Structure 1
Amino acid sequence: MGSQKKRPVVLTAADREVLGRVTTTGVHPASVIRRARVLLALDTSAGEIDSQDAIAARVGVSGETLRLVAKRFAESGGDVEATIQRKPRDLPPVPSPVTGEVEARLIALACSQPPAGRARWSLRLLEKHVALVEGIPDLDHSTIGRILKNEAASSSEEVLDHPTTSKPAVRGPDGRRAGRLCPTL
């Protein structure tokens, strides 16, 4: 509760106008509207403000949310847009294990001759062989299929046992298999 006194929120008339528009007009994410309402409630430029408990109850947030929004406002140097908008992400949380070299080696493996006793490469078979190859990280069969679809779309149907290569079945009017067909009449 004492952190509010350390970080007073002082808004200009232009800031209050922007926040008022965010809270009343247009389509904005709920988190943006909530932060804008918190900033308006914490504004000390008009005079004394209510206690944090009263503000939290009126705005419908916790005291911790009040503290965090005020802290973010102070850290952004009083920039209202930076306070209410979502923080931009610096980097993806985990870099992808699939690099250009991995894609090239995977495509080369998929275009190679399948193992003895197999007519084609399947995604699961590629998954097993990728685990054995040095220098290629273990990849799931769905990841392998996505890589082959994106990078070698023209040849992936030739390499993999694709469902569209099977012969179409005869279907009845209800969508089920027709079953035994009558001999030619």
Structure 2
Amino acid sequence: MQKKYIVRLTDEERQQLREVIKKLDGSRQKVRRAQILLKADIAGSHWTDERIAEAFGCRTKTVENIRQRLVERGFEETLNGARRSTPPIEKLLDGEQEAHILALRLGAPPNGYAHWSLRLLSRKVVELGLVERISHETIRRTLKKTG
């Protein structure tokens, strides 16, 4: 089957990829992407997707996705990964609110309950007016963090 996305690297790009691999410069994903691009280069090693996937312990779909990203989005974004379009969510609770939740969790559960569930805690926190609304998942992360 003929490949839809062909990897053609310039000499400068090949050299940059070799430097990333040699110095282990960047994240593990960046190094793996550099290795895959070098092996997929038509003017270089020109390995098959299956051989690349086997050599680097990934799926062939991963290799195909990297080829496609190189052709559609360019070398820099493929190597370094895409930047987030929106920044991470700000912290939902401050330290005082977290302390209240932890103290509530360590206290006795309401009558009729054997222990605090995450959903019960989230309802109680809203009922007490600590926050306007909160999910049980935020409660879980807060309790796990203070662990």
Instruction: State TM-score, norm by structure 2.
Output: 0.59
**Aligned partners of 1:139, 1:70: CA distance in 2, in Å?**
42
SS of 2:29's partner is helix
Larger radius of gyration: 1
Letter in 1 for 2:100: L
SS of 1:6's partner is coil
C-alpha RMSD of matched pairs (Å): 3.4
Match of 1:80 in 2: 75
**Aligned partners of 1:54, 1:97: CA distance in 2, in Å?**
46
| Count of residue correspondences | 111
Match of 1:28 in 2: 26
Letter in 2 for 1:22: V
**Aligned partners of 1:67, 1:33: CA distance in 2, in Å?**
17
- List per-residue Cα deviations over 1:68-125 (Å, max 9, x = no partner): 100111111xx32210213211125767778xxxx9xxxxxxxxxxxxxxxxxx9369
Match of 2:62 in 1: 65
- Please list every run of 5 or more consecutive structure 2 residues that lacks an aligned counterpart in the other structure: 105-123, 139-147
- Report if aligned partners of 1:56, 1:66 keep a CA contact under 8 Å in 2: yes
TM-superposed CA distance for 1:62, in Å, is 1.8
TM-superposed CA distance for 1:66, in Å, is 0.7
Instruction: State TM-score, norm by structure 1.
Output: 0.48
**Aligned partners of 2:35, 2:10: CA distance in 1, in Å?**
15
Letter in 1 for 2:128: H
Match of 1:45 among 43, 46, 49: 43
